[in-house]
Amino acid sequence: MADRHTEPRALSEKVWERHVVSRTEGKPDLLFVDLHLVHEVTSPQAFDALRMAGRTVRHPELTVATADHNVPTTGLDRPVADPISAKQLEVLEANCASFGITCYPMGHSNQGIVHIIGPELGLSLPGMTVVCGDSHTSTHGAFGALAFGIGTSEVEHVLATQTLAQPRPATMAIEVDGALPAWVSAKDVVLAIIGKIGTGGGIGHVIEYRGSTIRSLSMEGRMTVCNMSIEAGARAGMIAPDDTTFAYIEGRPHAPSGARWEEALSDWRGLVTDEGATFDSTVRIDTSSLAPHVTWGTNPAQVVPIGGSVPHPDELVEPSAREAATRALEYMGLVPGTALRDVAVDTVFIGSCTNSRIEDLREAAQVLGGRQVREGLRALVVPGSHRVKAQAEAEGLDKVFIAAGFEWREPGCSMCLAMNPDKLSVGERCASTSNRNFEGRQGRGGRTHLVSPAVAAATAVAGHFATPDELP
Partner 1 sequence: MKPVRVVSGRAVPLDRSDVDTDQIIPSDWLKRVERTGFGAGLFSDWRDGRDFVLNRPEHAGATVLVAGPNFGTGSSREHAVWALMDYGFEAVVSPRFGDIFRINCTKQGLLPVQVEPSLGRALIDAVIQDPSLELTIDVARGTIEAPGAGLSGTFPLDEFTRDRLLNGWDDIGLTLRHEKAISRYEQARPTWMPSAPARS
> Residues 344-363 vs partner 1: string with x where CB under 8 A?
--------------------
* Binding flag, residue 237, partner 1 (CB under 8 A): no
Number of H helices, E strands in the chain: 15, 19
* Binding flag, residue 230, partner 1 (CB under 8 A): yes
* Binding flag, residue 82, partner 1 (CB under 8 A): yes
* Binding flag, residue 15, partner 1 (CB under 8 A): no
Burial of 327 (C-beta count, 10 Å sphere; 0-12/13-18/19+) = middle
Report in angstroms how near the CB of residue 439 gets to partner 1 at its nearest. 6
Q: Which of 31, 93, 21, 34 is nearest to 61 (CA)?
A: 34
Q: Produce one character per residue of 226-250: b if its CB has 16 or more CB atoms within 10 Å, e if not.
A: bbbbbbbbbbbbbbbbbebbbebbe
Report in angstroms how near the CB of residue 380 gets to partner 1 at its nearest. 18
Are 128 and 238 contacting, i.e. CB atoms less than 8 angstroms apart? no
Residue in 62, 76, 291, 403 binding partner 1, rule: CB under 8 A: 62
Residue in 254, 269, 378, 464 binding partner 1, rule: CB under 8 A: 254
352 SS3 class: coil
Residue in 117, 184, 219, 255 binding partner 1, rule: CB under 8 A: 255
382 SS3 class: coil
Task: Rank residues 213 and 227 by Cβ distance to partner 1 and give the closer one.
Answer: 227
Rg over CA atoms, the chain: 22
Q: Which of 274, 267, 230, 234 is nearest to 249 (CA)?
A: 267
Task: Rank residues 43 and 355 by Cβ distance to partner 1 and give the closer one.
Answer: 43
The region of 45-53, 189-197, 303-311, 454-462 touching partner 1 under the rule CB under 8 A is 45-53
Task: Rank residues 96 and 430 by Cβ distance to partner 1 and give the closer one.
Answer: 96
* Binding flag, residue 125, partner 1 (CB under 8 A): yes
* Binding flag, residue 212, partner 1 (CB under 8 A): no
Task: Rank residues 134 and 188 by Cβ distance to partner 1 and give the closer one.
Answer: 134
* Binding flag, residue 41, partner 1 (CB under 8 A): yes
**Which residue type is seen at 128?**
M
**What's the per-residue H, E or C state across 50-117?**
HHHCCCCCCCHHHEEEECCCCCCCCCCCCCCCCHHHHHHHHHHHHHHHHHCCEEECCCCCCCECHHHH
Are 44 and 156 contacting, i.e. CB atoms less than 8 angstroms apart? no
- Beta pairing partners, 286: 177
The footprint of partner 1 on residues 298-327 (CB under 8 A) is: 298-299, 320-321, 323-324, 327
* Binding flag, residue 267, partner 1 (CB under 8 A): yes
* Binding flag, residue 34, partner 1 (CB under 8 A): yes
Kindly give, in sequence order, each residue whose CB lies less than 8 Å from that of residue 413, ignoring residues fewer than 6 positions away.
68, 69, 71, 113, 351, 352, 353, 419, 420
The footprint of partner 1 on residues 411-470 (CB under 8 A) is: 417-419, 436, 438-441, 444
Tell me the number of residues near partner 1 by CB under 8 A.
Answer: 90
The footprint of partner 1 on residues 91-120 (CB under 8 A) is: 91, 96-97, 100-102
The region of 86-94, 209-217, 218-226, 358-366 touching partner 1 under the rule CB under 8 A is 86-94
